[in-house]
Amino acid sequence: MKYYVFCLLIFVLTGSTAYAVQGDPVGHIQTLNGHVSILRGNSTLPGSVGTPIYHSDLIRTAKPGAAGIVLTDGTTISLGPNSELSISSYLFDPKEERFSLAVRMVKGTFVYLSGLIGKLSPNAVQLSIPDATISARGTKLLVEVQDN
C-alpha cells in the first residue's frame, strides 16, 4: 500500500511529462494475428494483445502473422506478415509543444495512420524505409518494403 501511494505520488509529480520519460511505453499492441515477437536489447519477447511497446523495440511479425500497434498519441501502424518495424524516436509532450516521431520500416507491409503528433506538428513525423525517408503530413499511407 505504501508502495502504491509512493508510486501515485511520483505519478502525480511527474504526470505532465510522463510521455517524455524514457522507460514509459510509447504504445501497445492492439491487434494480433499469428506469431509476433518483440526484440528488446538482446532478448526476444512474445507479443500479445496489450503488450507495451518501448522506444527502440523492434516489432517483428512471422508469416503468417500481423499486428496493429497504437502509440500514446493515437498514431496507429499495422504490420502485415514477415514485417519488421521500430520506433526510433518518440516524444509526445503537448504541454511543452515538443513532438517527435520517427518510425523505421525495415521490411514488409505497413498501414500508417497519423495521430496527434501528426496533427499538432506535421513536420515532426518521419518514416524511414531503406534508401528513402517519408515526410507524412497528417495522413494515411500504405508502405511496402521489399526484402533483399
Partner 1 sequence: MNNPISGMLTAILMILFLSSCLPQHSVILVTDPDGRIGKAEVITAGGKQLLEKPGDMTRVSGSPASPSSVMTAPPDYIAVTFAEAMAAQPLPPKKFILFFATGTTTMSTESHAAITAILTVCKKRGVTSIRISGHTDATGTDQFNEKLARERALLIRDLLLQNGINPDLITVSSHGKGNPLVPTPDGVAEPRNRRVEVIVQ
* Chain positions contacting partner 1, by CB under 8 A: 11-12, 15-16, 18-19, 24, 27-33, 49-50, 64, 66-70, 72, 74, 76, 78-81, 83, 94-95, 97, 108-111, 113-114, 118, 120, 122, 129-148
Q: Are 77 and 110 in contact (CB under 8 A)?
A: yes
User: Virtual CA dihedral for 56, 60, 45, 87, nearest 10 degrees?
Assistant: 20
Q: Taking the complex as a whole, how short is the minimal distance between the CB of residue 119 and partner 1, in angstroms?
A: 10
Residue with cell 518521419: 126
**Residue (67 or 101) nearer to partner 1, CB:** 67
Q: Taking the complex as a whole, how short is the minimal distance between the CB of residue 26 and partner 1, in angstroms?
A: 10
Q: Taking the complex as a whole, how short is the minimal distance between the CB of residue 91 and partner 1, in angstroms?
A: 13
**Residue (15 or 45) nearer to partner 1, CB:** 15
**Residue (42 or 146) nearer to partner 1, CB:** 146
**Residue (42 or 131) nearer to partner 1, CB:** 131
Q: Taking the complex as a whole, how short is the minimal distance between the CB of residue 116 and partner 1, in angstroms?
A: 8
Bridge partners, 32 (sequence order): 67
Q: Taking the complex as a whole, how short is the minimal distance between the CB of residue 126 and partner 1, in angstroms?
A: 10
Residue with cell 505504501: 2
**Residue (3 or 42) nearer to partner 1, CB:** 3
What cell numbers appear for 20 in the block?
A: 517524455
Among residues 44, 106, 33, 115, the alpha carbon closest in space to that of 67 is found at 33
Give the whole-angstrom CA distance, residue 52 versus residue 142.
24
Q: Are 83 and 55 in contact (CB under 8 A)?
A: no
